[in-house]
Chain A
Amino acid sequence: MWPRLEARPERSRLMIYLTPLIAAGLTGVAGVILFAALGHDPLRALHAFFIAPLSTGFGWSELIVKATPLVLCALGLAVGFRGNVWNIGAEGQLILGAICAGGLALWAGDAKLPWLLPTMVLAGMIGGMAWAAIPALLRVHFNANEILVSLMLTYVAELLLGYLVHGPWRDPAGFNFPESALFGPSAQLPALVEGTRLHVGALFALAGVGGIWLLLMRAFIGFQVKVIGLAPRAGGYAGFSQARVIWLGLLCGGGMAGLAGMVEVAGPIGQLHPQISPGYGFTAIIVAFLGRLHPLGILLAGLFMALTYLGGDTLQIELGLPRAVTGVFQGMILFFLLAADVLIHHRFRFGRRPVQPRGGDRHGRA
């Protein structure tokens, strides 16, 4: 007999926190099946993917290095997603942040400038915000879908970066490789722990968690975002402006993604080249959902998703599997999460259908 889906009288708080764990567990199970089907020892593969990367202190530092841009991007996206503003162009906004901050660093060269790093942070955020302002403007004034516009701009941003490092910003001493000169010492983020790539960008991510928490949980505008996201009409009656929520959502998303771009080029990379991000801006969408659009949840989810990048590397080294396995795992996690989320508003019932009071399910899921 098929189980039946029955609406819960109110959403389950337990399930809100449980479904990300269920999703991670199901992804592990699916991983076992996938590896077994490919003819690998599933336990060894899972060990290589999830455990081996964290067996050394260096592994942990790399985890934080990878989690930093993910958390930064996802924090900004969460502001938009809560208000039903679908910015999916964080990747492009990250690239613009990297271009603006990187341009400043290249201009400064080897000069010793104490104000350079703070200015680069600002430039990165402004670059990302400017890129995100385009879909905001077009959505508010011309009703253009922000999903498509922000995504199209990601392709444009990638091409812009390609143009710069192939053309005007190419390192003259770089043997014609499409990359810029290395940034000077005063344009590099200082390391937190000597001998690792861990840099102060990680602290930016922590500060971001605090800042976005204040904005979403303690500021009136955070409440407005939530109301507009859950019930736009109710928000309208309360006098909350949808346009303001759209602007806020996209500018936060762009600013944080731009900061992530700055952190990447001034931190682990140290120059501009065409592949500055392995899709952090897209993975951050998964991080935001897995973290339940809550800053603390995003911090944990960011660390977990960073593991999928490290795990993909280890699998490639140990079992010779393509790195794309990371993308497969990331997609599966989001699938399982979305599937498991049905349990927040519904429960499964077996047996015969009881007589129901009229009315039925009134939950409009966002």
Chain B
Amino acid sequence: MDGLDGVVALLVAMIRAATPLALAAVGELVTEKSGVLNLGVEGMMLVGAVAAFATAVMTGNPALAILAGMLGAMALALVFGILTLGLLSNQVATGLALTIFGVGLSAFIGQGFIGIPIEGLDALHIPGLSDLPLIGPVLFAHDPLVYASVLATILVGWGLYRTRVGLVIRAVGENHDAAHALGYPVIGIRFLCVLFGGAMSGLAGAYLSLAYTPMWVETMTAGRGWIALALVVFATWKPGRVLLGAYLFGGVTIVQLHAQGAGLAVSSHLLSMLPYLATIVVLVLISRDRTRIRLNAPACIGRPFRPSH
């Protein structure tokens, strides 16, 4: 029975580790589908994490805290949108600026919140399902944000490929001149997609500081925003594969943590390198097929758009 409990704990931990990656990557996927590359995911996640945590400490209301996390990250996304879409700044440089600013701002805001304990998010209890043996604890005893990540992936997949709105978003990302000629407000649509990406990054950050490790630590995202960016490439811009990739990376993180816990005779520093090295390996494996990347990447990604008339 001990072994079985261990497996359950491992799967639960894996799902929890995958959740922030999935949330952030699905948001960034929508942003990129509209033709905008926002490299500021890490910064937005951090601001989301600190905004959510500060709100949780001050109000004790988890719903309000989650909302604050989303709004905080969206404020940063708004700045990104104004700069890249309104003032035509370089998207790569602006995304980097967003991350640098987000790291600084979150550390600044979070200074007074270091070491304060909060109650993490409560798990949802689904009558009947949560009490099932094995399946119950693995699938039906999580906090709401875990389900939100799965639901968001399904909704984004359905929205992008089965609705008119999704078609317009993809059109704007594939050929902004044609979309503009058809009368679609390219800048406006991109702005909304950037804000959506921000909201999802904020949700991911809120998950980290409210549920995953309920506390605030400077740069607590530890590169998850960048891994989320890599996941979008790994998934070749397909929502379902984003979720798959997130669980894969969640698995790598957890196996590594458990190996440390089990007293494997390898330094914890070396083991902690695994998720980052795995990201590089996966990126290489996917990117080496240039045709596949070219076929799947939004054609206008990273290119500024200014209507000539």
Contacts and interface: CB of A to CB of B under 8 A. Distances in A.
Interface of A: 5, 7, 86, 88, 138, 141-145, 147-149, 151-153, 155-156, 159-160, 162-163, 166-167, 282-283, 285-286, 289, 322, 324-332, 334-335, 338-339, 341-342, 345-346, 356, 359-361, 364-366
A152 B293 CA distance: 20
Contacts of A282: 100
B288 A159 contact: no
A342 B222 CA distance: 33
Contact of A334 (B100, B226, B233): B100
Interface string B237-260: 000000000000000000000000
Contacts of B304: 365
B32 to A, nearest CB: 12
A360 B284 contact: no
B83 interface: yes
The listed residue with most B CB atoms (<10 A of its CB), out of A5, A328, A361, is A328
Nearest to B79: A335
Contact of A342 (B89, B284, B290, B303): B89
B308 A360 contact: yes
Contacts of B88: 5, 342, 345-346, 365
A138 B284 contact: yes
B181 interface: no
Interface residues on B, range: 35 or more
B108 A322 contact: yes
Nearest to A149: B280
A156 B273 contact: yes
Interface stretch (B20-28, B123-131, B150-158, B264-272): B264-272
Contacts, number: 153
Interface string B278-309: 01100110011010010000000001101011
Nearest to B285: A142
Q: List the 6 shortest-distance A-B pairs measured between CB atoms, nearest first.
A: A327-B104, A331-B101, A360-B308, A324-B107, A163-B269, A322-B111
Interface stretch (B64-72, B91-99, B138-146, B168-176): B91-99
Given A159-B272, A324-B107, A331 B102 contact: yes
A255 B131 CA distance: 59
Given A338-B90, A361-B306, A331 B288 contact: no
Given A145-B283, A167-B267, A338-B83, A331 B97 contact: yes
The listed residue with most B CB atoms (<10 A of its CB), out of A141, A156, A283, A366, is A156
B308 A361 contact: yes
B270 A159 contact: yes
5 contacts: A144-B280, A148-B279, A152-B223, A155-B273, A282-B100
Contacts of A162: 269
Contact of A147 (B83, B92, B273, B276): B92
Given A339-B89, A342-B89, A331 B39 contact: no
A139 to B, nearest CB: 9
B104 A148 contact: no
A345 B88 CA distance: 10
